Amino acid sequence: MNSSYAPDLSTALSLTLYTALLSLRDVASRIPINYVTAPGVDLTPVCFSDQRYEDAAAQQCLSNLLALGFHRLIVDLYWDQSRQTWSLCPVELSTQGNSTSPINTGGYPSSLSTSSSSTSPSASLTEARVLGDTAEPSKRHVLRSSLINANDDKHQWGEIHARQTSEFSSESAAASITNAALTPATLASDVSSLTSGGSSAAMSQTSSAAQPSQTGHQIGGYSCTESIGINTLTNVLADYFEATENDLNATFKYLEFNVRLAAPFDNPTDTTNQADPERLPTFGNYISDLINSSLSSYLYTPAALRSERANLNQSWFAHDIDNPPIVEYMTTIPLDNGSALYTPDGWPSESIIMFLRALRIIAGIGSVDSQMQQYDFSADAETMFLPEYISSNIGTTLSSDGAVTSGCFYQPGNTTLSAVNSSWAISSNLPNMTALNTTAYAALDLSSCGISPILNKPLLDSLAIGNSTTYYRYVRESLWGWGVNEPGDSLTTGSTGRHCAVTNLSNDGLWEVADCTDEYHFICRRNNSLYDFSVSDDKARYYQGDEACDQDSSFTVPRTALENRYMIAAARDWLSRQTDLDGAPAVWLSINDIDTKNCWVNGVDTICPYRHEDRDGSKPEVVIPTVAGVIVLLLAILTILVKCAANRRNTRRRLKRGEGGWDYEVIGGGAVGLAIARRLQQHSPSASTVLIEQHKAVGTETSSRNSEVIHAGIYYGHDSLKTKLCVQGKEMLYELCAKHDIPHRNCGKWVVAQDATQAEAIEKVHEFASGIGVPTRFLSKEEAQRREPDVRAEAAVLESPTTGILDSHAYMTFLHGSFEYAGGDTALSAKVTRIEAPTPASSDWKIYTADPQDKNAETEPITAEILVNSAGLYACDINNMILPKERHMQPFYAKGNYFSYAAGHPKPSVLVYPAPVPGQGGLGTHLTLDMAGRVRFGPDVEWVDSPSDYTPTSDPARFRAAIVDIRKYLPGIDESAVALDYAGIRPKLGKLGAVGAGKGFQDFYIKKEEGYNGFVNLLGIESPGLTSSLAIAEQVYRLLYR
């Protein structure tokens, strides 16, 4: 029986690359899967950008990608209403023969394989699956966590089981495999002998093994076979899992479906067609039904996750589990009766999910087109994870050479999981695909930032089916950890032949092989922390690693690309302080192949789990099965530090006045709170400041959900704090960004008028700006048309040349790092529950906090002499905790929805704002740009009751109103490319008056409250708060000391 999994010969990996990838898989085996970067690929551009949706080609492309090590697969899945089926083809296929033109799909012949199916699999993964099936009858959607505790289902780490073909007995095949090492020459042997560890999946020179339906259609620009659908993919995956069902080759995969509606067959470009609710999928045709038909025995499900999280002592941390997940990567909470632990956010590691449970894949829903919102996703909920559950798109920006300049989870000096929460982070922001080395470096850099890179364009404009060597290079060049040609066997003749690894700081920290008898310092991990590394004081041979680190540390190796980045930073910091370093700038890592050649293990005297003794008594060697495109784990390593967050360091909490007192307490870790905390901490070298933030990271609310505009200060009226601090803050912000390489751009802004009334309004803006010294000028129609021909301005255009944009995330990362570098402390996951003002008996403010997930567990009070309320959306709540009722303030929450724009045209190079309307709560639905040049629109204004209602409002009437507003100044917009993106909320003190000339204008409230010594209160800090943040910090400082 032929296999659907049949990758090209060119996907076969060299022994060195295979060994490197195997070692990285193994060091990460105990990391929960949500923190292991899993390189991914979007199948539509990489397999189908030629618009040929044919079974054989699709299977060949997917086979190549699996063989090369792409772990996350993103699939555009279309519901074809005309045939009541799921398809990969973007258009409906008519059942009428005269509606479409038949096409020839015979361009991909069957496999060249002569191997037969495996009839006696002996891999331990297969044993686990068989035993699991015996212990638990097949049930749709359900995997019982009790299987984890079954001793007979436990993976034996000390063995390797290679799969066999029916031609050989298990005993004879095992002997042949373990007595001959794999060499490049082996890989070049006769095609007929190349099988995946003896399995039935054969390597194909040009083709897939599949023989799909030959019935195809030409519709518009698409060529589609009728049979191409979910089974096209799942059959390849099932055969791939069978082919790699052994300890050496198994890897874990992630399958994510974007749910879309196929365009009508008679109008294939129509993306506005709506699904008929009566013709949506029903029982037997849900996505989960089709996945389960091929992959149920390999699938890890939401039901299993819920069961296992509920009692960790009976699942991942049961007494007979040898390799449980690293507990520091999850939150654990005692059950009510105290008998066990549960976790609200934990995930299993590959040591559990794959090597113990023999499961290989997780499936989820990605994006959902508006036309398919009525699909019954609850039917899939027990099998598949819902949108955004196994992926979190991270907004990133890159430099021209591919380095991540914003969005990175690496935070120098901040090594707590709550601050570096990269759970399920992904990004498809890869640079121009014409430069392969830049693309690979960007993927490497994203992984080192804790973000899984998603390839969403064909490399060098070539599909993975026709140019797999290019994708092979991408895999190799984006590899983290090991250097080029490592782990190699090029030690000097006089070496012992015992291989250990160092991080070479003269070569970007890449891992290299060294003789274990050489002497170097050692990398140490502090207190089982995730990201806190140091270097030992003494140097010695590798074998002394267990005694080299201090009492609170242990000899270690990074287990993820993000851990590796923190390790390199710590080693570089150590190196910078060495004045008399003797020898090469290299440091030992806890990984070696002393026991068994090519088997790299963590520790000093660890035995290889795949070890087989050679019969001649020589050193045993791991023999890599001759694999048809061996599966790899692609991760990445960062070699250049993010400049804007440089020089941060770890700080120990310094309590100035005994145990329990700071000089300053700042509530709220948004841009303004960070700027204030930084300014106060820099006030004096002996100052002590604590920043209190209720979330797990700083800057997660208004500061990161806005237009990211550097405002000029032209709207807010005379003698207002908004005008004064915006104008001051703009200059300070530009200066800071330029000095510290924080991504920003002075792109300018146009305010456009469409009639005489609007022209009069922007004339007043111009007069006001001139009066306060902020430059603005009117453009002639000719100049405006020449510079931005797509922008409409019927009456007038006012240019604000000092308006710009910045990367708010990079800015806040810098502020936070600068604050902690100066000695400040951050208390995360600390929601304020009550506050006690100073009394005659105590001059300190006392702030009581609790973890938002356990509000009843109130902590000891945090005390300080000065309290600053910069809590943003919750500032009125803090105000009302402290001041008497007559001084309470009512907050108003203005939610703003933002829209993305996917089309390449029109694309202005300046920000475009409509003329301001006095009395409104915002500045209208305007056009802004991000640092990558992408266009977005918004925000609108929607008054909500909750400050945490961040779900974008999917309202057709609101969307239509936004389109109408946008078309007034950008008439050529492609409406189909506009999509609801994200939402932010602005804290307001009233529902009117975003501009100074309007009724009900509300200014910033920044006061040192009378009768409450040491209390500075900031309320209504909305736009232009980001621009004004540095000036607000100075204002607070002046209130306290001038």
d(CA 483, CA 477): 10
pLDDT class of 922 with cuts at 50, 70, 90: low
Is residue 908 reached through a cis peptide bond, with omega within 30 degrees of 0 on the bond before it?
no
C-alpha to C-alpha distances, 678 to 813, 821, 832, nearest whole angstrom:
12, 9, 21
- Out of 173-187, 824-838, 895-909, give the one with best mean pLDDT: 824-838
End-to-end Cα, the chain, rounded Å: 85
Nearest to 635 by CA among 588, 565, 566: 565
The DSSP bridge pattern shows strands 831-836 and 845-850 to be antiparallel
Is it the case that residue 415 has pLDDT exceeding 60? yes
Tell me the C-alpha distance between 304 and 265, whole Å: 40
The mean of the pLDDT values for the chain is: 82
Q: What is the pLDDT of residues 362-375, one digit of tens each?
A: 999 999 999 999 99
Give the residue-averaged pLDDT of 735-756: 93
Q: What percentage of the chain exceeds 70 in pLDDT?
A: 81
DSSP-derived secondary structure for 176-223: HHHTS---HHHHTS-GGG-BSTTSS-B-BSS--S------EEEETTEE
Question: Does residue 185 contact residue 626 with C-beta atoms inside 8 Å?
Answer: no
**Residue 148: is its pLDDT beyond 70?**
no
Q: Which CATH architecture has domain 661-702+809-889+1005-1041?
A: 3-Layer(bba) Sandwich (3.50)
Q: How many H helices and E strands in the chain?
A: 22, 42
Q: How far apart are CA 298 and CA 277, in angstroms?
A: 32
| Most confident option among 67-76, 487-496, 733-742 | 67-76
Label residue 204 by pLDDT band (50, 70, 90). Answer: very low
- When pLDDT is averaged across residues 994-1007 and rounded to a whole number, the result is 74
Reduced to 3 states, what is the DSSP secondary structure of residue 83?
A: coil
890-915 residue pLDDT tens: 999 999 999 999 887 898 999 999 99
Q: Decide if 861 contacts 655 (C-beta within 8 A).
A: no
Cα angle 872, 877, 879; round to 5? 90
Can you read off the two tokens belonging to residue 206? 């040009």
CA angle 192, 195, 198 (to 5 degrees): 120
Beta-strand pair 749-753/911-914: parallel
CB 48 within 8 A of CB 35: no
Please write the tens of the pLDDT for every residue from 602-639.
999 898 988 755 434 455 555 444 333 332 222 222 22
Alpha carbon distance 549, 537 (integer Å): 8
Question: Token match 């050193």: residue?
Answer: 619
Chain Cα centroid distance, residue 551 = 35
pLDDT tens per residue across span 457-471: 999 888 998 788 899
* Sign of the C-alpha dihedral computed for residues 340, 343, 344 and 350 taken in this order: negative
Going by pLDDT thresholds of 50, 70 and 90, the confidence category of residue 413 is: confident
pLDDT in tens, 711-730: 999 988 888 999 999 999 99
pLDDT tens-digit profile of 95-128? 443 344 444 333 333 222 223 333 222 234 434 4
Inform me whether the pLDDT recorded for 1011 exceeds 90.
yes
> What whole-number percentage of the chain has pLDDT above 90?
60
pLDDT of residue 1000: 65
- pLDDT of 161 above 90: no
Higher pLDDT, 360 or 123: 360
Q: What is the per-residue pLDDT for 603? A: 92
pLDDT exceeds 50 at position 183: no
Question: How confident is the model at residue 369, as a pLDDT?
Answer: 92
| pLDDT tens-digit series, residues 938-983 | 998 899 999 998 888 989 999 999 999 999 999 999 999 999 888 9
Which pLDDT does position 813 carry in this prediction?
85
> pLDDT tens for residues 790-817?
999 999 999 999 999 999 988 998 899 8
Phi/psi for 596 (5° steps) reads: -145, 125
Strands of 732-880 (E only): list them.
744-745, 749-753, 777-778, 796-800, 804-806, 825-827, 831-836, 845-850, 862-869
- The domain defined by 745-804+891-988 folds into D-Amino Acid Oxidase; Chain A, domain 2 (3.30.9)
Task: Annotate 683-713 with DSSP letters as a single string.
Answer: T-TT--EEEE-SSSSSS-SGGGSS--EE--S
How much is the pLDDT for 173?
29
Q: In the chain, what are the domain boundaries?
A: 393-477, 499-643, 661-702+809-889+1005-1041, 745-804+891-988
Rounded distance between C-alpha atoms, residue 247 and residue 530, angstroms = 26
Question: In the predicted model, is pLDDT for residue 433 greater than 70?
Answer: no
- The Cα diameter of the chain in Å comes to 95
Does pLDDT of 1 surpass 70? Answer: no
- pLDDT for position 679: 95
Pairing of strands 452-455, 397-398: unpaired
Whether the predicted pLDDT of 648 surpasses 50: no
- How confident is the model over 373-391, as pLDDT tens digits? 999 998 999 999 988 899 9
Q: Is the pTM of this model over 0.75?
A: no
